[in-house]
Amino acid sequence: MKHFYLIACALLITFGATAQKLSKNKKAIIASVEKHEQALIEISNNIWALAETAFEETQSSKILADYAEKQGFTVERGVAGMPTAFVATYGSGSPVISVLGEFDALPGISQKAQPTKEALNEGAAGHGCGHNLFGAGSLGAAIAIKELIEAGKIKGTVKFMGTPSEEKFFGKIWMVREGIWDGVDANVSWHPSAATKADVQSSLALVDFKIEFYGQAAHASADPWNGRSASDALELYTTGINYYREHVKPTVRMHYHIQDGGQVVNVVPDYARLWMRVRDTKREGMMPVYERVQKMAEGAAIMANVDYKVSLISGIYEVLVNRAGGEAMQKNLELLGPITYTPEEEAFGKKIQEVTGKPQVGMDSKINPLEETREHPGGGSTDVGDVSWNVPNINLGVTTAPKDTPWHSWAVVACGGMSIGHKGMTYASKAMAMTMLDLFEDPTLLQNVKDEYKERKGDTVYEAIVPDGPPPISGN
């Protein structure tokens, strides 16, 4: 009993301290997100069930845009030549603060909201990166800020950027090229994760390109001497790439996907196609490797006596970190405190860990201290990188899946369709809106964020890594 009393006292003190530190406007943000919570969960669940992939997110984009419009935002749809890209704006004048929302799924990883692997729709796509939560969570943040502007508590403009096709082709590049972030003072973003932290790490730059080989078809047995094999060139090319791996810096990654290696065994293939990707932690490191592997295509073509063509698809920048913004986000995470889970949610998490062969430690929602920014962060790539070279960007990661969950997998899909994902989503809405509020209310913070952006960007002139012309809406 005494023990219980002490815990109760401690809880009251903790709660009291947190409540005291929260300003009226931050309390209003929390109340707003809680008011919209059921609607946000419904939006997220609908997008989760639709699981629409890159540039095909017609309904997912509409669900988010419609809700924003219903809340009083002015919505511009189909921006930057992409039918599923949109911008929702509320308010007027400065400052202008935007928040990113993604909503595309990954092919082939359909999954039910359960901790054992079973497809919801066999062969269909699934939200293995949690973008259903990403879009709805960011919308929740934008709405909370909109309500403060509407109530006359703050002045300025809030924008929700509906950014399609993050998993393929990188829609944000074309939105940047279109000048969608022109006049925006700062941008806030988040990503579903297995840990909660103000994210002050960069990501990897990457470049995607297509290599095609053109040969001469012939009967593979009757007159092979009349044939020049495009797939020979493709094999020689990938062999060259795999030898080259030994001689690149440890930060470089090279991946390829054979899209066409010929159709049948009794024809010398006259056409072969490969999707090639090069990454490095810095764009400057990536570009020489990109040059070299393009030359290797010529080498392979010479050996197989075929023609070749290299076509740039798109490329993205590494994320430009903003520590001043990260520190503001960190303070808000500490104000909110960690997410708490029910025994059922912990059991769900542990079951996923059991099935995926990880230590059964359950959920990790502690507020991690702000990290040092690493020179070579490792990990993946994101088109948030391109946004971050055009406007100061503040990033957040929030727990939406158990510790060590394999990302881009069925396990992430499972958590994104149930309460573990939903809790992370609304937590992200609150943390982002609170940080956006800081940017509205504290001109010094906003200036520090902008100054750091300018300093880190230096004299780099941003040039999108894309071919001329429209986005590859129906590309492959």
Residues near Zn ion (CB under 5 A): 129
By beta-carbon proximity to Zn ion, the closer residue of 147 and 386 is 386
By beta-carbon proximity to Zn ion, the closer residue of 129 and 446 is 129
CB of 273 to Zn ion, least distance (A): 26
CB 150 within 8 A of CB 62: no
CB 450 within 8 A of CB 394: no
- Cβ of 450: how many Cβ atoms within 10 Å? 19
CB 220 within 8 A of CB 427: no
Strand 186-193, strand 393-399: pairing: parallel
Q: Which of 256, 212, 254 is nearest to 233 (CA)?
A: 212
CB of 438 to Zn ion, least distance (A): 25
CB of 125 to Zn ion, least distance (A): 14
By beta-carbon proximity to Zn ion, the closer residue of 290 and 427 is 427
Strand 205-214, strand 271-280: pairing: antiparallel
Distance CA 202, CA 378 (A): 8
CA angle at residue 442 from 437 to 443, to 5 degrees?
125
CB of 132 to Zn ion, least distance (A): 11
Distance CA 23, CA 76 (A): 33
By beta-carbon proximity to Zn ion, the closer residue of 132 and 229 is 132
CB of 382 to Zn ion, least distance (A): 7
By beta-carbon proximity to Zn ion, the closer residue of 146 and 168 is 168
CB of 150 to Zn ion, least distance (A): 31
CB 385 within 8 A of CB 203: yes
Q: Which of 193, 182, 98, 102 is nearest to 433 (CA)?
A: 98
CB of 247 to Zn ion, least distance (A): 31
Q: What's the length of the chain?
A: 476
Q: On the CB side of 217, how many CA atoms lie within 13 Å of its CA?
A: 11
By beta-carbon proximity to Zn ion, the closer residue of 99 and 289 is 99
Strand locations in 302-450, DSSP E?
307-316, 393-399
Chain centroid to CA 32: how far?
Answer: 25
68 burial (CB, 10 Å; 0-12 / 13-18 / 19+) is buried
CB of 191 to Zn ion, least distance (A): 6
Token duo for residue 176: 């940047």
Residue keyed to tokens 């301290």: 17
By beta-carbon proximity to Zn ion, the closer residue of 193 and 330 is 193
By beta-carbon proximity to Zn ion, the closer residue of 26 and 277 is 277
CB of 48 to Zn ion, least distance (A): 14
Token duo for residue 159: 């924008």
Tell me the residue number closest to Zn ion, measured at CB: 129
CB of 196 to Zn ion, least distance (A): 16
Say what angle helices 419-441 and 24-50 make with each other, to 10 degrees: 140
By beta-carbon proximity to Zn ion, the closer residue of 129 and 236 is 129
By beta-carbon proximity to Zn ion, the closer residue of 129 and 304 is 129
Distance CA 415, CA 345 (A): 10
Q: On the CB side of 287, how many CA atoms lie within 13 Å of its CA?
A: 6
